[in-house]
Structure formats: structure tokens, C-alpha cells
Amino acid sequence: MKPFAFISLALILCRLPLFGQEIPSTSTNTVSARAARVTSPEVEPDRRVTFRLFAPKANEVLLTGEFMHGATNIQKSESGVWSITIGPLEPEIYNYNFTIDGVKTIDPGNAQVKTGSTPSTIESILEVPGDSPAFYDGRDVPHGEIRTHWYESKSLNTLRRLTVYVPPGYDKSGRTRYPVLYLLHGANADEDSWHQLGHVNLILDNLLAAGKAKPFIVVMPFGYGVPPGSSNALGQNTTMFCRDLLGDVIPYIESSYRTEPDPDHRALIGLSMGGGEALSIGLNHLERFSYVGGFSSGLGRVSDFPKTYASLIADPGAANKGLHLLWVGCGRDDGAFATSRAFSEFLTQNKITHTFHESSGAHTWMVWRRYLHEVGPLLFQ
């Protein structure tokens, strides 16, 4: 075939429908292309941030986020792009959402998304870097490993999943045994939250590299004993999860990893719902745990403290002897702050040695990452 024949054939093929469908030259394609070109969020060197959304038919778009109070209206341009610039913001990792004509949604221009065990937790993630790496950033240091396991929970009669962090060098450390931190997530979250949102692996990698912490294994189980959002979640969740933790999770870990299987080398810490679980379970099972902590904990009613922690306050001397660390922290802007402070006062009145850490901040991962960074060096010393 002559060269011009190839050219003619190519021209013919270009005019044929693709897979039996013609590609229409319509405004729909133009709209899709324009939406794909919208950059959001865009972080400037001075840490100002511009959010954009292509929604030409929307009547109202609002921005909400952990970097502001309440919601802010966004303005629409003639091209149909809604945009707003805020800041400069402090270096941090923030969550945010758009609300389009009353419907809350993520930023379609941002692939970084916070997820969990319920739809209510889904938000977009904004990371504003600082001039130097933060304590939760990845650095050029030895790194541990995140592993996922399925296990049969005989207590709950179901198959469940948990996540494990092993410190750098675990596989090459021969017969070395390690302490274990059981680290619990909050409501609407899951067993991946502490490493995806809390950066537990990076925080501990950096602490270990700086010589500020001892190496230990971190186990992050699914913290619900009943299905998230179920009607009996409040009344039965901690009880059912306690059965799974003590009866299934700990035995599974101690048969699968080289652990120090005694209370002196076991810690139980959690945030929000998981903080309430950690304090309730840990302080009622000092034969299992000698390090216990709660971040922004869901503690229930103050009037129930004497009943919930009856075994703890029955013998303060024995409790203090068994506890190497009891750490309770909460931000002053957190809805859980008053109850957390009341819990600290309850412990003081009953002569239970503890640390109450009052800080700035609300009910956010910004606070919980800092708390882990502060507590990590205190464990297993």
C-alpha cells in the first residue's frame, strides 16, 4: 500500500464513531474538562489556601473546616467556579467540607479523604506544610511497618480485622520481645484511623530515631463491640468490645508476635469513644494493663464514676502500685473537657495518682496526634 493510502485510511478512521458511539461536541464535555482543570485546595508558599469548586448550576456553596469557626460563603465567578482564599494557616493537617445547596460533600478536586466506619466521618483533608518537617511527617529515618490481620472473634462470633505497627528492625531482632500498646480509635472511625489520620507509625518512627522512646508494638483493633450506629451501641458497646479485646485480640497478638505478655509491658490508650473504653477497661483490669490513657474521652455521666470505677477506688494503694502511668488529656475547646476535668477531680478525691493534661484545641486529630507524641516517650520506661 502506498503512503498516501495510509493517510487516507487514518483520516477515515478518525471520522468513525469510537466503539460505535460518536463523541459529541457538546457543552457536557466542556463542563467536564473545565471541572477537571480546577485546582483545589491550592496552598501558597505563604500558607494562604485557595479552595475552588466548579458548580455552575449551584445557588450557594459554603466552606467549613477545622481552620475556621462556623461556615463561610464562597463566591461564584461568571465561569461557574466558586472560590475563596483564606489564611495564612498554621502548619497542620486539617479536615474540611463543602456544602452545596444544603448538601454536605467532600472537595471533588482533592483526592485526600478522611474515611471511617460511618458516612458521617467522611471529609476532605488539607495539609499545610511548615518550613521544616513536623513531628508527624515522614523523615529520612528507619521506618517500622504497618500490617493488617484478620482474626476470628469467638467472643463476638464474627471475623474481624486489626492493624499492627511493628517498630524498625522487628523482623531482624531475633528473639527480642516487645511491649505492646493497644491503641483505640473513636466513634465513626476504624482500625485504620490511627495510622491514616493519626500518623502513629511516623510519630513513633521519629521518636525512636531521636532516642526519645523505646520500641514497642502498637495494636489497633476495630473498637466497636456492636455495629456502629446501632440502637444498643451506648449501653453494650464497651462491654462487648472488652470481651473481644481481652478474649480474642490480646491472645491473637501474643500468639502471633514476640511480645512481653505481662501487665508491666501492656498499655491501653484511646481517643474519644476509644478513650472511654480504654479508661473503663484498663482501670478495671489492672491485672492486664499498667499503662492507661484517654484522649478527649467519652466518659459518660459523672454520677456513674463511682460505679464504673468501683474496683479502682476500692484500694487506691494497690491501684497506684499497679499503675505505671494514668494519663488523661483534653482540649479546652472540646465538648468533653468538663467531663474529663471532673474525672480528674474524681481520681484526685479517691487518691488515684494520675496526670491530667489540659491543652488548647477541640475534638480533632490535631490534638490527638500531639497527645500521642507526648505520651509515647512515657511508655515502658
What confidence score (pLDDT) does residue 229 get? 76
Give per-residue burial for 51-73: e unless 16+ CB within 10 Å, then b. bbbbbeebeebbbbbbbeeeeee
Residue type, 171: D
Reference 267, options 366, 368, 377; nearest CA is 377
What confidence score (pLDDT) does residue 24 get? 40
What confidence score (pLDDT) does residue 232 get? 58
Q: Is 29 helix (H, G, I), strand (E, B) or coil?
A: helix
Q: Where are the alpha helices (DSSP H) in the chain?
A: 3-15, 27-37, 193-196, 200-209, 233-244, 250-256, 273-283, 305-308, 310-314, 316-322, 337-349, 365-375
Under-70 pLDDT residues of the chain: 1-36, 231-235
- In the chain, CATH 3.40.50.1820 sits at 145-378
Please state the length of the chain. 381
- What pTM was estimated for this model as a whole? 0.89
Tell me which architecture the domain covering 145-378 has in CATH: 3-Layer(aba) Sandwich (3.40)
- In the chain, CATH 2.60.40.10 sits at 34-128
Beta partners for residue 268, in sequence order: 182, 292
User: Other C-beta atoms within 10 Å of 125: how many?
Assistant: 19
What is the assigned CATH class of domain 34-128?
mainly beta
The 10s digit of each residue's pLDDT in 241-261 is 999 999 999 999 999 999 999
